[in-house]
Amino acid sequence: MDTVEKLRVLSRDSRYDLACACGGGRDEHRRRGGDGRWLYPVALPGGGYTVLLKTLLSNACSNDCKYCPLRAEADFKRCSLGPDEVARSFMEYLRRRMAFGVFLSSAVMGSADSTMARINGAARILRGKYGFRGYIHLKVIPGASDAAIEEALSLATAVSLNIETPGERHFATLSGKKDFTRDIIRPLQLMSRLTGRGMRFSRVKCTTQFIVGAAGETDREIMDYVYGVYKGLKFKRVYFSAYQKGSGAPDIAGEKRAETFPNEVFIREHRLYQADFLARKYGFAKDDIVFGADGNLCLDKDPKEVWADVHPEYFPVRINSAGREELLRVPGLGPETVKLILAARREGKIRRLEDLGVRGRRLQKAAGYLIYE
């Protein structure tokens, strides 16, 4: 293949990793460019969005991750790009104003550090040879050395390492080569320390991602780890990627479940994003998230509605006197709407949500939980 064809293939194969963007709001949806490459929006630290060109450096993997379509035993055409090829291709995209940042990841080529050398090498070329000062997101490969991680942090705007599953027990069902503590938890903790307040790389954003449904884990187990990532590691975002039927080995829990309930995991992914938003933006504590007897979030209602259903004593909320935290508990009201409510109250009494521009489903949800006294 020539460079263009390899980039088309490797950009396609990178689409399962969402730890750079996607999943939150209407501005976070990936789209396919006219040449077949995937383009991703990402929120910038100072506000607004930019568009990333996202690609792997290689899909030739030596790992055995059973959920992954790129695992070593899978049978398909493999290809790789050199660091300079990646850098040149991105600079052409930038010149054409089709992308303004880049996400670089890779299948594991031999060892974690040899792979990191290629990922970091591409970023080094962009920063040094081409003088690019824009957004670079680098994937940290499980098991990477401290030195490789530090170099990635020195080059990147953001870094991510996928936690994959909540805990060693589930992790062990998906890989016989990787060790959860050594290859996942240790580097995540190092990333947290090096990007902490007052540290050399404090400007670098760290994120991680769970593969939802592959290992038979529950939503409760995932959310326990989500709170640990935010409270303990101080990461900026957690992402969720639904395991897709046919992607992995036929003996894993996710493949068996998908045979019976093919669309369930995509709804789970959506509910987990909603629960994550409650944790990050609404001030919901871990014990506030309601799970069913099976340990999973309700598929039929969003997590805030479920919380409201089991806490009838909290409602109705007085829209003209309730505080911000009280208002954020009302289904249908988000941070921006609550900000509008608080601002409007300084001008006079609120008599209708419609006067603040709240319409449709959000209005219908909120109506049953508010009074206008």
In tens, the pLDDT along 154-174 reads 999 999 999 999 999 999 999
Q: Is the peptide bond before 316 cis (omega within 30 degrees of 0)?
A: yes
Could you say which of 1.20.120, 3.80.30, 3.40.1000, 3.20.20 is the CATH number of the domain covering 3-207+228-240?
Answer: 3.20.20
Q: Where in the chain is the domain with CATH 1.10.150?
A: 311-371
Whole-angstrom distance, CA of residue 62 vs CA of residue 70: 9
- Residues 314-371 pLDDT 10s: 999 999 999 999 999 999 999 999 999 999 999 999 998 888 888 888 888 898 999 9
pLDDT in tens, the chain (373 residues): 788 888 888 877 777 666 655 444 444 455 555 555 555 555 555 556 677 888 899 999 999 999 998 898 888 889 999 999 999 999 998 998 888 899 999 999 999 999 999 999 999 999 999 999 999 999 999 999 999 999 999 999 999 999 999 999 999 999 999 999 999 999 999 999 999 999 999 999 999 999 999 999 999 999 999 999 999 999 999 999 999 888 889 999 999 998 889 889 999 999 999 999 999 999 999 999 999 999 999 999 999 999 999 999 999 999 999 999 999 999 999 999 999 999 999 999 999 888 888 888 888 889 899 999 8
Strand, helix or coil for residue 102: strand
Considering just the CA atoms, what is the radius of gyration of the chain in Å?
22
- So what's the pLDDT on residue 174? 96
- The contacts of residue 199 (CB under 8 Å, 6+ apart) are 193
Phi/psi at 290 (nearest 5 deg)? Answer: -95, 130
Residue 71 neighbours by CB distance under 10 Å = 19
- Pure H helices in the chain: 3-13, 83-95, 112-128, 146-155, 168-172, 186-194, 219-228, 253-260, 264-281, 303-309, 324-328, 335-345, 360-367
CATH number for the segment(s) 311-371: 1.10.150
Whole-angstrom distance, CA of residue 125 vs CA of residue 291: 48
Q: Where in the chain is the domain with CATH 3.20.20?
A: 3-207+228-240
Closest CA to 91 of 147, 53, 55: 53
pTM: 0.90
Please report, for residues 91, 134, 235, 270, 368, the alpha-carbon distance to residue 362 in angstroms, rounded to integers and kept in the order given.
Answer: 42, 37, 30, 17, 11
